[in-house]
Amino acid sequence: MCGIIGYVGTRDASPILIESLKKLEYRGYDSSGIGLLDHGSRLIVRKSKGKIRNLEELLRSHPLPFSTVGISHTRWATHGLPCDENAHPHTDNKHQIAVVHNGIIENYAQLREKLKKQGCRFISQTDTEVISHLIAACYKGDLKEAVQRSIKQLKGAFAIGVISKDHPDMLVAARVGSPLIIGLGDDENYIASDVPAILDRTRRVIYLQDGQMAVLTKDKVEVFTFDGKKVAPKIDTVSFTIGLAQKEGYKHFMLKEIHEQPGVLEAMLKTRLAGGKLKLEGLDVSDKVLASIKKVMIVACGTAYHAGLVGKYIIESLARLSVEVDTSSEFRYRSTIIDQNTLIVAVSQSGETADTLAAVREAKAKAKGAKVVSICNVVGSSLVRESNGVLYTHAGPEIGVASTKAYTAQLMMFYLFGLKLAQVRRSTPRSRINKIIKDLQSIPRHYKELLKKNSNVLKVAEANSHFGCFLYLGRNINFPTALEGALKLKEISYIPAEGYPAGEMKHGPIALIDEYRAVVCIAVASHVYEKMISNIQEIRARKGNVIAIATQGDREIAHHAHYVIEIPRIEELLTPLLAVIPLQLMAYYIAVKRGNDVDQPRNLAKSVTVE
């Protein structure tokens, strides 16, 4: 997510704005900028792609004048590549107004066209720039009123900070859907996206609520509704440390990101499945081409590869299309059979994984004309630039090395893409498509339920954390879930853990089973449930310790497994979305019990940009 800072007071604003911005770097970003008013009431903006140190370098060569009011920003790109022009603050053409923004303006395209017709000249590809032009167009001398009239025209989520060259003593802020706090200082006041940014300057804060705006001067803060009604804001005193604040109170980023999953999928469904209508903006492959595809080739690494394996079951079931999945590192050295009728789907959270980039380049070289679609979380990343189309997951920065919210967002994207292919290829009855859409829309609610009832998972994790080896077994569409559960455990707890198709147990892994092993079995309600029960009985006969992931209401499983963790009942095809949640939590709890560095486990990098 983007980071916003604003300052109005009596001290020199620019060092304050830069130092506070650095405390938001953990949020992930690709460019940064600063805007302030010098006492000649000139609006000055400096911005730079890359890290804040690049902006500091720019300020060394182009120093800023003394100013007592300003805004700064770190950008996590949602619209438009990371580059200087797209960095914030954005201004109107007359350089009267400067704006920083966190969120997504859903109706920015219509507003942009309307403003262009009024003569506005756009510099960037961002949604944010429409806000600066809009406020300038509404400005008649009263900045608060201009902001008020502008934000009423915005649809979507936004937290904004605004300064105007005609008001060198004022900072205006507003929010709906994205967080924004106000920091109350002595003869100075702040706005910030998050508490850590200003914790070293003040602990007295106002958490601006959705639908509220604020007008700040150095010695006054007034809060209003968007309709201009004044409200008496609650002033809180922050008690926690900076470190805890960056994780919004969670002990680790991984736990925070596990809990962000309901919101991530809610946002995805809201933009991609509004009113049950599929909208895969960015796919950029025509229905005609999608209808002509003879094979899908999915390439990815690690967790993204597991998402690809689930994607195979989804696409084969819904689109009746042949799907091959391979790890990028294997694909690139294999004599693969692909041609222009193959659709390459590359999955990558970072979009910078060297093997996946190489695999895509290899595929494009081998099959001239083959289309490449990437499922990616980082806007403008290298993989995106190699692709014909991109389905952004918009899961926000994933800081924990162990991928969680990016994985479930990738799964969700495969369900949506599978539905798209089914629609185009008329391969699935409308009634089944509607049933799946309805079930998908219930996932965020099920997530909230699962995350609320995590005490059982904690109990199971603690009861089994002493085992020195884990086996994860699943069948059919939950075989990849077994692989993902094993990867989550091994990468943060360092316990040897192996995912396996349950049907393969008798072909080797059963030799491992004894009273010193824990075996996690994904035995949710499905057409292979009875087979899973047989596997569990085989494990029990060899004194293995069985942890079952089962469907709520299953009365039989408790007779077979030592521990049962339940997930809500849902269409079998969608069970991977739910079954993975307890496995993420279990891995997390075991790793914490072992005292490991959960967010930065040994030997691992968040993005493997080398072979």
Its sign, for the CA torsion 395, 604, 548, 526, is positive
Minimum distance from CB of 406 to ligand AGP (Å)? 6
Q: Which is nearer to ligand AGP, 164 or 356 (CB)?
A: 356
- Cα gap 69→16, rounded to integer Å: 10
CA 315/CA 317 separation, integer angstroms: 5
Smaller CB distance to ligand AGP: residue 224 or 305? 305
Closer CB to ligand AGP, 103 or 308, in the complex:
308
Dump the DSSP string for 316-358: HHHH--EEEEEEHHHHTTS-----TTEEEEEEESSS--HHHHH
Q: Which of residues 96 and 403 has its CB atom nearest to ligand AGP in the complex? A: 403
> 204: which 2 tokens?
């007295």
Outline where DSSP puts E strands in 351-477. Answer: 371-376, 389-392, 470-474
Q: Contact 136/92 with Cβ under 8 angstroms?
A: yes
- Mark whether 405 is an active-site residue: no
298 or 513: CB nearest ligand AGP: 298
Cα–Cα distance measured from residue 73 to residue 24, given in angstroms and rounded to the nearest whole number = 9
Q: Which of 2, 83, 120, 376 is catalytic?
A: 2
Calculated CA dihedral for residues 580, 581, 583, 587, nearest 10 degrees: 130
Nearer to ligand AGP, 496 or 568 (CB): 496
Inter-helix orientation angle 575-593/405-425, to 10°: 170
User: Of 314, 276, 392, 272, which Cα lies nearest the Cα of 576?
Assistant: 314
Indicate the SS3 state at residue 1. coil
Contact criterion met (CB below 8 Å) for 559 and 582? no
What is the closest distance, in whole angstroms, from the C-beta atom of residue 335 to ligand AGP in the complex?
Answer: 24
Q: Which residues bind ligand AGP (CB under 6 A)?
A: 301-304, 348-350, 353, 356, 401-403, 491, 607-608
CA separation for the pair 221, 231 (Å, rounded): 11
Catalytic residue among 312, 420, 490, 606: 606
Nearer to ligand AGP, 48 or 374 (CB): 374
For 247, phi then psi, to 5°, come to -95, 15
DSSP code string of 110-124: HHHHHHHHTT----S
Residue 304 or residue 399: which is nearer to ligand AGP going by CB? 304
Residues 6+ apart with CB under 8 A from 22: 52
Output the six-digit token pair for 531: 């087979």
Residue 301 CB, nearest approach to ligand AGP (Å): 4
* Nearest-approach distance from CB 606 to ligand AGP, in angstroms: 7
CB of 401 to ligand AGP, least distance (A): 5
DSSP bridge partners of 98? 91, 163
Strand positions, DSSP E, 122-281: 156-164, 171-176, 181-184, 189-192, 204-207, 212-217, 220-225, 230-231, 236-237
In the Cβ-directed half-sphere of 49, how many Cα atoms lie within 13 Å? Answer: 9
Q: Say if residue 601 is preceded by a cis peptide, omega within 30 of 0.
A: no
Q: Give least dist CB 279 to ligand AGP, A.
A: 24
Known active-site residue 606: yes
Please, what is the minimum distance in Å from the beta carbon of residue 394 to ligand AGP? 15
State the nearest-atom distance from the C-beta of 348 to ligand AGP, in Å.
3
Nearest C-alpha neighbor of 441 from the set 588, 571, 314:
571
**491 vs 566, which CB is nearer to ligand AGP?**
491
* DSSP class per residue in 10-66: SS-HHHHHHHHHHTTGGG--SEEEEEEE-TT--EEEEEEES-HHHHHHHHHHSPPPP
Measured at CB, which residue is nearest to ligand AGP?
Answer: 302
CB nearer ligand AGP, residue 164 or residue 349: 349
Q: Give the Cα separation of 569 and 154 in Å (integer).
A: 39
Catalytic residue annotation: 2, 606
